[in-house]
Amino acid sequence: MDINELVASSLKDNHGYDVPIWTIENAEKYASTSTDIKDRDRQVSEEILGLMTSLNLEGVNRVDLCAAPCGNGALSEILRAVANDLVDLVGQDRLHYVELGPEPIKTSALLHHLLENGVQAVHYTAVDINRASHDVMRRAVEPLLVAPEKFRYLATDFRALCRGDIECGQDVTLVTMLGFQEGNELPETIGQIIRRIGGARTYVLSEMQLSIPNDDEHIHRFYRHHCMTRFSELVGLKLGFDQVGSEHEVIVSDIEVDDDWYRVAATLLPVLSGQDEGYLLTNVCLKYTRQQFSRVRQDYGGCRVIGEFCSGDGSVLYQLSEYRMDHGIAN
């Protein structure tokens, strides 16, 4: 079963949802690569990108977000720590920055810090199934690069990528997944993507909202954010459902994958489909523990974790890992 089926089954078995639950593959929520896309769908895709950008802007600008009670360890602070480590890691070598699911805020901050501290000859490639991000990312990133041709954009599904798609003579490849997008897929799916595009001196930077023992409040708080409730409404609108409730419901459940149990957040929008009333599963996102996040990267992605940067409240982790060539697969 895919992640949506696993979550829907858990909701019905463990949380009392005995009405229809409609699901949508993650890529379909964002897809706008077709040239004949409807105006409504294009507007939805643009607004979804705007919502995610707003969340990231808040993450960078709020000095208290995810900080410890003493004020240390806010998201903006740990992002700077990540950037400092990347400067040391890349040095003077030629870098190719490959972003899976591009967003302009954190990316610009990281690239600006890298360039400001001597990293040179940066190539940048955005990979996105939501074509609405093209102009946004070009405006944000291209001015930071030494030449316009260093900016590339691939309007494709991450799962279709292979190493040849991102080769440009670089010494170092940095693959980023910022936001909590890694949690939208099962561990094996993300692992396959990494193994397909991994090569010599390839590093993976990913951001995860963590599962904390006996405390899901930070997860509920995030999915009650107005940007996330609007996201659910837009997914329902894009699929043609009639919303019947005021906003989505947030459930934190558990699913079993390859004999391991993972916490997962789900948002359910109450909808009508014809005469049938039920729920549209608008978002699913795995919430690893810190230990699970490390183990998943090693076991599924064939990587060695070389850096962990955790927020002061313990709820968000940036993980930096190095791809191991002996774990590759044929492209």
Note whether 308 and 318 are within 8 A (CB). Answer: yes
CATH code, domain carrying 197: 3.40.50.150
Q: pLDDT for 272-318, tens place per residue?
A: 998 899 999 999 999 999 999 999 999 999 999 999 999 999 999 99
Provide the pLDDT for residue 161.
Answer: 95
Rg of the chain over Cα atoms, rounded to whole angstroms, equals 19
Same domain, 196 and 147: yes
d(CA 315, CA 106): 18
Q: pLDDT for 140-186, tens place per residue?
A: 999 999 899 999 999 999 999 999 999 999 999 999 999 899 999 99
Number of domains in the chain: 2
Same domain, 301 and 244: no
Give the domain extent around 228. 3-30+212-287
Q: How long a stretch of residues is the chain?
A: 331
Whether 39 is in a domain gets the answer: no
Whether 124 is in a domain gets the answer: yes
Q: How far is CA 268 from CA 4, 172, 185, 186, in A?
A: 12, 41, 17, 19
Whether 81 is in a domain gets the answer: yes
Whether 148 is in a domain gets the answer: yes
Residue type, 172: V
Whether 51 is in a domain gets the answer: no
Answering whether pTM is above 0.85, one says: yes
